[in-house]
Amino acid sequence: MWTSALQLVFIGFYLQVPTCYPSCTFYGLVANCPSRNHYWVPTLPPNITHLYLQMNFISEINSSSLRNYDHLQQLDLGMQKVPLVLRNNAFLRQRKLTTLVLGSNIGLQMEPRAFAGLFLSLAANRFYCDCNLESFLKWLNVTNVTFASPTEEYRCEFPAALQNLPLGNFSRVIEPCGEDDAKAIQDLQLALFIFNAVLVITVILSGFIYARLRGHIFIIYKTIVGRVLEGPKPNLPVDEVQYDAFLSFSENDYGWVEAALLKKLDNQFSEENLFRCCFEARDFLPGEDHLTNIRDAIWSSRKTVCVVSKEFLKDGWCLEAFTLAQGRMLEELTDVLVMVVVGKMAHYQLMKYQAVRAFVQRREYLTWPEDPQDLEWFYERLVSKILKDTKVKKFAEDQPEPAQPDAQTQEEEGIQLENIGPIPCQL
Ligand SMILES: *[C@@H]1O[C@H](CO)[C@@H](O)[C@H](O)[C@H]1NC(C)=O
Ligand SMILES: *[C@@H]1O[C@H](CO)[C@@H](O)[C@H](O)[C@H]1NC(C)=O
Ligand SMILES: *[C@@H]1O[C@H](CO)[C@@H](O)[C@H](O)[C@H]1NC(C)=O
Ligand SMILES: *[C@@H]1O[C@H](CO)[C@@H](O)[C@H](O)[C@H]1NC(C)=O
Ligand SMILES: *[C@@H]1O[C@H](CO)[C@@H](O)[C@H](O)[C@H]1NC(C)=O
């Protein structure tokens, strides 16, 4: 019983302190309450001597706000987050007040008799003479508070151009804070906002357009360029070669190649097409040796287009054609070989074959697009590659080597450790 009673008292005491003065810290008679979200002067013990209320939301000090605190010696009301108004007779009873801090209050207003009853010295202030001082000067002009030193002695401290100018002289030249500046800043903010919004929208739109509409835009671009330039269709260079392009592909890919490439390129499939193409099923001489046929096709065509698919890589003749065309390329130093990679193919699959690897590593090749809207662009590049005769550079490592049909069997048997090592020179 006795212990429970004691505990109750203790809890009551413990609860009492924070509920009465919840947001001030006391050190004897010093009340410290900065940044505690006070909207008016809090209720505190009447005998306090120091009261620190900076950085709160106090908007008014009137004759009743500090009525209870007769013993105040120091009062800090600086840096309020809202405009502060000092009403008449606000400090009437603070006879002992020696320091009153009002610094850094934006829009501070003082009624003429706000400091009635105080013996005021403003000599320690360093006045910043700009348009914000206007309300203070007005107050100074109308107040009849007694000052410790004559107000005529107050001088501007800043800015440098006005240093030591008496406040009285400054009050004759002061210009009210222009709304021009505020308006200019507002306009600037608006312009900045619009600019940012436009920028963000542009970035998003360009991403969207690229992802969804690039194919259409390319076609429109081609149409416009075609209309504007209206030049004759590109003339094929007239020369003695029999074919424009030899298409080398695996027999198993014939259906696809016919639909995707021949119908778009070969002039026997459609009148609109530019090229005389050559491919095994139609143009090889029956009865002739296959290798001779391939060699003839390569040398009597301006370009060799290799359609590199999984089937192509399995086909020894195709690889042979690739190697021969590459040999011709290195001999004539023009890019007679055009490589088109078709179907999902991992890079390592291409790299397994010596001839293909050398090409993939150093030359540009075309890839059949996954997105149908990129088709137009692909054809455009393919046609221009067939038309153009670009010189190629010879790389030191470009060694035309015979295709290695056995590479494939090796790979199917799995990796053999003894085969790892420097590739033996084949001469
Ligand atoms: C100040 O007032 C409080 C109560 O209001 C009292 O408890 C305290 O003893 C007083 N301090 C002094 C030094 O008078
Ligand atoms: C002084 O201000 C407080 C709150 O800001 C208000 O409640 C009170 O009525 C005011 N007193 C006078 C005399 O204006
Ligand atoms: C100061 O008061 C006088 C009259 O008392 C007036 O003529 C003068 O314009 C005032 N100056 C300012 C800056 O308000
Ligand atoms: C100046 O102060 C006195 C007494 O403090 C007062 O009677 C008088 O009305 C005040 N004058 C003005 C213009 O406020
Ligand atoms: C301030 O104004 C007075 C006359 O009103 C003039 O005599 C004095 O030279 C001025 N002071 C300065 C620093 O301009």
Which tens digits make up the pLDDT trace of 343-354? 888 888 888 888
Is the C-beta atom of 151 inside 6 A of ligand 3? no
Q: How far apart are CA 211 and CA 389, in angstroms?
A: 33
Nearest-CA residue for ligand 3 atom 11 is: 141
Res. 48 pLDDT band, cuts 50 70 90: very high
Predicted model pTM: 0.46
Confidence of residue 387 (pLDDT cuts 50, 70, 90): confident
Asked whether 116 and 89 are in contact (CB, 8 A), the reply is yes
Which of 245, 405, 391, 395 minimizes the C-alpha distance to 325?
A: 245
Tell me the C-alpha distance between 121 and 88, whole Å. Answer: 18
pLDDT at 21: 58
Cα separation of the two ends of the chain: 109
- More confident position, 124 or 398: 124
The 3-state DSSP class for residue 123 equals: coil
Does the structure show a pLDDT above 50 at 63? yes
* Average pLDDT along the chain: 81
| Closest atom, ligand 4, to C-alpha of 143 | 14
Q: Whose CA is nearest to atom 10 of ligand 4?
A: 144
Domains of the chain are: 18-173 (3.80.10.10), 191-232 (no CATH), 243-419 (3.40.50.10140)
Looking from the CA of residue 39, the nearest atom of ligand 2 is 5
Residue 4: predicted pLDDT: 36
| For residues 11-34, average pLDDT | 65
Q: What is the 213 CA–ligand 3 centroid distance (Å)? A: 71
Which residues does ligand 2 sit against, CB inside 6 Å?
40, 60, 62-65
151 vs 319, higher pLDDT: 319
Residue 93 has pLDDT above 60, yes or no: yes
Measure the CA angle with vertex 148, ends 144 and 149; round to 5°. 95
Mean pLDDT of 403-408: 45
- pLDDT tens-place string over residues 155-185: 898 888 888 888 888 888 888 777 777 788 9
